[in-house]
Amino acid sequence: MRLIFFILTALLTCLLVFILNRSWRSIPALGRFVSPQHGFWKNAERADLDPTERFNLEGLDGPSTVYFDERLVPHVIAGTESDVYFIQGYLHARFRLWQMEMQTFAAAGRTSEVVGVRALKFDKQQRRMGMVFAAQNMLLEAEKDPITKKAFDRYTAGVNFYIDNLSARELPLEYKLLGYRPEKWNNLKVALFVKQMAKTLASNEDDLALSYAKNYFNDAQLKILFPQTADSLEPIIPPNTIFAPASITPSKPSDIDSAYINNNHIIPLKEIDKPNPANGSNNWTVSGSRTKSGKPILANDPHLDLTLPSVWFEMQLSTPGANVYGASFPGCPGIIVGFNDYIAWGVTNAGRDVRDYFEIQFKDSTKSHYWFDNAWKKVDSLHIEAFHVKGSKVIYDTVAYIDQGPVMFDEDFEAGVSPGRAYAVRWTAHDPSNEMLAIRMLNYARNYQDYLNAIRHFLTPAQNFAFASVDGDIAIWQQGRFPARWDQQGVYVLPYVDKRYTWQGYIPQEENPHILNPARGYVSSANQQSVTPDYPYFIPGNFDLYRGIRINRKLAGMEAVTPQDMMNLQNDNFNSFAATAVPLFLKHLDTADLNEVEKRFFDSIATWNYYNEAELIVPTLFKLWYDSLETFVWNDQLKPLNDIGLRPKEETLVEALLRDSNFTYIDNVNTPNRETISDAITAAFRVAVVRLSTLKEKKGQTWGAYKNTTVYHLLGRAMLPFARTGLPVGGGTHVVNAMQHSHGPSWKMVVEMTTPKQAWVIYPGGQSGNPGSKYYDNFINDYAAGKYYKAWIMQAADKDDPRILSRYFFEHK
Amino acid sequence: MRFILSVLIILILNYVLGLFLPWWIIAIVGFLSGYLIVQATVKSVLSGLIAGFVLWSVLALFIDIANEQVLSKKIAGLFRLPQPWLMIIVTGFIGGLVTGMGALTGSLLRSFTQRPKSI
């Protein structure tokens, strides 16, 4: 009897340990997870300790020291470039390893290894888009250049030094939660990270969606719904700039009307995980002729999804050759946006279309041949992609590669409706390039010519590089690799039965839009079109409009500009879109039958100064009013486009109504009578008031509460306790302070080129990626309040400064 | 006296071995103490429960205080617990449960192997 008790109890105990030692669905192995000596408690950092650490290593050229200030910003004082990249790799891994790995897994289409089969479609698309292909091509190129080869090698060695010495108990929290371990870092992952940024910024064109729309609308209608250029455009390069004549004039094929413009047999292909169209930024530089100090001031705030940890990591890298400060990307070496002792630079997304699709016809399901030049041509290769999905057997996917690129959509992925028909993707991100060389050269640049030599290497994602130097030069250059297109080439999917529709060349770098020391005393960009239509190339893309207008208006009116003026402008909440739309709305609103509540809201919007302040209700009213109007106007006739998520831009609708109050789409085709603009605007107003009233009284109605600006953890809504929600900030789309629900200025920087340099910075996060650290999100409250931190640009003589809280000493063996 | 001693022994062994061995060593420690330390089964189980609970919850408490509740708040949120200090209770509970089950198993083995021989 006792034997039976013993056996049963023994089995029960083993079962208990087994259950607590395994992860189940989304619950981690509980026994290990809560053990104070093994689990999450090990990640709960002491708030009072700031340790000094010493490392004694082979492979270093000499001694180096890292000094951490009170914001945990590391100031790396190293003797050689090789050592500084090693240490940077180590620090990035030390504070952000999980983030680096997760982002490069996503780039490589490997998230299903960690998360399971629900991520498989995303992974398949990443590989078919050629993300790994692109990274491999970049790596080959980067390793040909001794400078970038050394940078990649040393950075990788630094990351691996951290990983190799990481015990299971010390793993970052997310590894414990998800139940896996980090793998070794390598140079390919650096390239994958850069390509992930390329996807984030240079894959937002609508070629597939517009091609599908051709089934329902003709080309003329689509030009009205999706115009290339807005009426009120203020381009990056000032109007009346003389452009050199185009050195390449591509020749249009003779059959474009039938084979291309009016060809509408495209099936509904929908990309998942398209980048946020608001991915963009502001930057501007004011010349010393207009600043109080007499030296240029540069400002930049890149707009990205706001995450914890932040995609940025602030640091200073100092070697005898260059002393650079700014924002770095955990995942690659160098300072990406920042300044050194001589120059400052910042970037905004160019938004140019650098990705086209080519339609082919496979001979059969083997995908080995496609119809080209009147014969069945063999594809270049067939890649077999393997997906090691967690909790499942290995899954394979075969992708054909032709000279244009990978055949992204075919019968095996999304395009099964029409047998054999497939779509290859031609993307500048696939082309061999060495963007990290551009970054390295910017870090070491001392003047305008150095800056020019540096950015030449930056092909994808194309950026508007703003520049300022201590010499007093200011400049902006839209830099990237751009195909020279004939008019309308690349707006839709292109036929590929012969070479006639392919890219015929690239716009020479000197012919890219640029300006140096303009008469107006400032340069600026906010993702708007770069030039007026008289620029001699067709340059389609996805552009913003109103932020650029506001920035130019403010800069033009400023005198004796100070850095505080620049910070105020980055925080500016004026809504230029509202300033354009509201007068139109009020003009056509029928106020005759408004009830009490409606009258009250009408008064508030009629007296609004168009500032999207967090505590006001009227910005919410405006947003709901516009959204309701948009639904009223588009929903009846643009219903077929809902499947592919295509919608005309907000400025397109408002500008169309301003041009023509009898705009054809106002009429609701489902009703017998013909609606007028007044009907539409009044109906929309009424709906908006009802929707506003149903939001929780007072708390849910203010713009800040409605927008509920949130910085999510990288794992998203599944990890809500790790997020920061309800930030009381204003701003919004079309506003310089581009704060949306979870997207906005991910880094803010203002640099004055005085001697010594002065810089003010902040980002919505913290230097540590550990949710158990007090440095995880400690910048967020100040960021929400619109504050900045004065960057401490450490000099070698400062090594005993009281600001230093801890040090890492690196000694060479 | 023996009871208090057994609690202390389990607690110290759990801690020391836990420094370099996997977390489930507490089940083994519980088992060994239940088998080797002569006391009634009930006392054996209780000593395992108490030692396991006290070690893990006290360690967690010290960590939590030094950490200023930064992490326990977030983990408690993930586990849908209304208060951060409940994480300390959960931690202690699991430590006590596993150690106690180990002790029960060991104690039952001892009482089985030391049963009076049949005549």
pLDDT of A314 reads: 98
pLDDT of B118 reads: 54
Question: Cβ separation of B27 and A13 shorter than 8 Å?
Answer: yes
Residue type, A623: K
What would the DSSP string read from start to end of A473-502? Answer: -EEEEEES--B---TTTTTSPEE-SSGGGS
**By CA distance, what is A39's nearest residue in B?**
B23
Q: Angle at CA A289, nearest 5°, toward A286 and A295?
A: 65
Phi/psi of residue B32, nearest 5 degrees: -65, -40
On whether any CB of chain B is under 8 Å from the CB of A39, the answer is yes
What pLDDT band is residue A698 in, cutting at 50, 70 and 90?
Answer: low
Candidates B59, B76, B115; nearest CB to A36: B59
pLDDT of A3 reads: 85
**By CA distance, what is B82's nearest residue in A?**
A721
The total of other beta-carbon atoms located within 10 Å of residue A146's CB is 8
Question: Cβ separation of A41 and B63 shorter than 8 Å?
Answer: yes
pLDDT of A699 reads: 66
| Helical spans, DSSP H, in A203-294 | 207-213, 219-225, 256
Q: DSSP secondary-structure letter at A352?
A: B
Q: Are A702 and A617 in contact (CB under 8 A)?
A: yes
Residues of chain B contacting residue A44, judged by C-beta atoms under 8 Å apart: 63-64, 66-67, 70-72
On whether any CB of chain B is under 8 Å from the CB of A485, the answer is no
d(CA A124, CA A133): 13
On whether any CB of chain B is under 8 Å from the CB of A9, the answer is yes
Phi/psi of residue A545, nearest 5 degrees: -135, -55
Q: Which residues make Cβ contacts (< 8 Å) with residue A409, sequence separation at least 6?
A: A128, A269, A415, A422, A423
Residues of chain B contacting residue A16, judged by C-beta atoms under 8 Å apart: 27, 97-98, 101
| Helical spans, DSSP H, in A647-700 | 650-659, 677-694
pLDDT (average), residues A339-348: 97
d(CA A275, CA A111): 17
Dihedral of the alpha carbons of A482, A488, A493, A496, in degrees to the nearest 10: -80
d(CA A473, CA A491): 37
Residues in chain A: 813
d(CA B18, CA B33): 16
State pLDDT tens for residues A56-99.
Answer: 999 999 999 999 999 999 999 999 999 999 999 999 999 999 99
d(CA A129, CA A409): 9
pLDDT at A544 over 80: yes
CA distances for A592 relative to A584, A589, A682, angstroms: 17, 9, 10
pLDDT of B117 reads: 58
Question: Cβ separation of B70 and A46 shorter than 8 Å?
Answer: no
Residue of A6, A14, A23, A30 to mutate, testing the B interface (most B Cβ within 10 Å of its Cβ)? A6
pTM for the whole structure: 0.96
Q: Angle at CA A383, nearest 5°, toward A139 and A205?
A: 70
Q: Is A571 helix (H, G, I), strand (E, B) or coil?
A: coil
Label the pairing between strands A307-308 and A709-713: parallel
* Least Cα separation, residue B2 to chain A (angstroms): 23
- Of A155-159, A285-289, A409-413, minimum mean pLDDT range: A409-413
Residues of chain A contacting residue B112, judged by C-beta atoms under 8 Å apart: 2-3, 5-6
Structure tokens at A784: 């929400």
Angle between helices A435-444 and A146-164 (to 10 degrees): 90
Residue type, A222: L
> A242: exposed, middle or buried (C-beta count within 10 Å: 0-12, 13-18, 19+)?
exposed
- Could you say which residues from 158 to 187 on chain A have a Cβ atom under 8 Å away from some Cβ of chain B? 173
**By CA distance, what is B101's nearest residue in A?**
A13
Candidates B19, B71, B109; nearest CB to A772: B71
**By CA distance, what is A18's nearest residue in B?**
B24
Question: Cβ separation of B23 and A37 shorter than 8 Å?
Answer: yes
Question: Cβ separation of B70 and A13 shorter than 8 Å?
Answer: no
Q: Which residues make Cβ contacts (< 8 Å) with residue A458, sequence separation at least 6?
A: A433, A435, A438, A465, A479, A480
pLDDT (average), residues A284-291: 98
Residue of B105, B110, B111, B118 to mutate, testing the A interface (most A Cβ within 10 Å of its Cβ)? B105
ipTM confidence = 0.96
Q: DSSP secondary-structure letter at A348?
A: E
On whether any CB of chain B is under 8 Å from the CB of A5, the answer is yes
- Could you say which residues from 203 to 232 on chain A have a Cβ atom under 8 Å away from some Cβ of chain B? none
What pLDDT band is residue A268 in, cutting at 50, 70 and 90?
Answer: confident
pLDDT of A563 reads: 98
Among residues of chain A, what percentage have pLDDT more than 90?
89
Residues in chain B: 119
Question: Cβ separation of B78 and A719 shorter than 8 Å?
Answer: yes
pLDDT at A1 over 80: no
Q: Are A752 and A563 in contact (CB under 8 A)?
A: yes
**By CA distance, what is A713's nearest residue in B?**
B74
pLDDT at A687 over 90: yes
On whether any CB of chain B is under 8 Å from the CB of A721, the answer is yes
Residue type, A29: A
Question: Cβ separation of B101 and A771 shorter than 8 Å?
Answer: no
Candidates A6, A30, A48; nearest CB to B94: A30
CB pairs under 8 A between A and B: 118
Q: Are A82 and A154 in contact (CB under 8 A)?
A: yes
**By CA distance, what is B55's nearest residue in A?**
A36
What would the DSSP string read from start to end of A401-428? Answer: EETTEEEEEBTTBB-TTSTTEEEEEEEG
* Nearest by Cα to A792 from A210, A315, A196: A315
Output the average pLDDT for chain A.
Answer: 95
Q: Where are the beta strands (DSSP E) in A663-723?
A: 709-713
**By CA distance, what is A717's nearest residue in B?**
B78
What is the helix, strand, coil percentage profile of chain A, to 5? Answer: 35, 20, 45
Q: Angle at CA A46, nearest 5°, toward A36 and A91?
A: 105
d(CA A201, CA A348): 10
pLDDT of A50 reads: 79
- Of A337-351, A393-407, A416-430, A553-567, minimum mean pLDDT range: A416-430
d(CA A275, CA A349): 13
d(CA A318, CA A256): 56
Residues of chain B contacting residue A5, judged by C-beta atoms under 8 Å apart: 108, 112
Structure tokens at A18: 């087994």
Helices and strands counted in chain B (H then E): 5, 0
Label the pairing between strands A375-378 and A369-372: antiparallel
pLDDT at A175 over 90: yes
State pLDDT tens for residues A409-466.
Answer: 999 998 777 889 999 999 999 999 999 999 999 999 999 999 999 999 999 999 999 9
pLDDT at A697 over 90: no
Q: Angle at CA A686, nearest 5°, toward A682 and A688?
A: 115
Note the maximum CA span of chain A.
100
pLDDT of A794 reads: 95
> A470: exposed, middle or buried (C-beta count within 10 Å: 0-12, 13-18, 19+)?
buried
Phi/psi of residue B49, nearest 5 degrees: -60, -50
Question: Cβ separation of A37 and B18 shorter than 8 Å?
Answer: yes
Label the pairing between strands A463-469 and A743-745: unpaired
| CA dihedral sign of residues A777, A276, A326, A520 | negative
pLDDT of A264 reads: 73
pLDDT of A507 reads: 97
Residues of chain A contacting residue B80, judged by C-beta atoms under 8 Å apart: none
Residues of chain A contacting residue B90, judged by C-beta atoms under 8 Å apart: 34
Residues of chain A contacting residue B24, judged by C-beta atoms under 8 Å apart: 17, 20-21, 31
Sheet containing A307-308: which strands, arranged edge to edge?
A: A307-308, A709-713, A724-727
Dihedral of the alpha carbons of A486, A491, A497, A501, in degrees to the nearest 10: 10
* Nearest by Cα to A776 from A764, A766, A763: A766
The separation between CA A640 and the C-alpha centre of its own chain, rounded to angstroms, equals: 29
pLDDT of A48 reads: 85
pLDDT of A16 reads: 96
What pLDDT band is residue A379 in, cutting at 50, 70 and 90?
Answer: very high
| Contact residues of B toward A, CB < 8 A | 15, 18-19, 22-24, 27, 31, 56, 59-60, 63-64, 66-68, 70-78, 87, 90-91, 94-95, 97-98, 101-102, 104-105, 108-109, 111-112, 115
d(CA A589, CA A581): 12
Residues of chain B contacting residue A41, judged by C-beta atoms under 8 Å apart: 59-60, 63-64, 71, 91
Phi/psi of residue B100, nearest 5 degrees: -65, -40
Candidates B24, B63, B97; nearest CB to A21: B24
Q: Which residue has the tokens 């779509």?
A: A423
Question: Cβ separation of B112 and A5 shorter than 8 Å?
Answer: yes
* Beta-bridge mates of residue A355: A427
d(CA A556, CA A574): 16
Residues of chain B contacting residue A10, judged by C-beta atoms under 8 Å apart: 105, 108-109
pLDDT (average), residues A713-740: 96
* Least Cα separation, residue A479 to chain B (angstroms): 43
d(CA A624, CA A691): 8
Q: Are A134 and A127 in contact (CB under 8 A)?
A: no
pLDDT of B116 reads: 64
pLDDT at A517 over 70: yes
Q: DSSP secondary-structure letter at A258?
A: I
d(CA A279, CA A276): 6
Question: Cβ separation of A37 and B75 shorter than 8 Å?
Answer: no
Q: Which residue has the tokens 């996805």?
A: A542
**What's the Rg (C-alpha) of chain A?**
28
Candidates A2, A12, A721; nearest CB to B112: A2
Q: Angle at CA A219, nearest 5°, toward A213 and A223?
A: 95
The terminus-to-terminus CA distance of chain A in angstroms comes to: 66
* Nearest by Cα to A460 from A430, A426, A505: A430
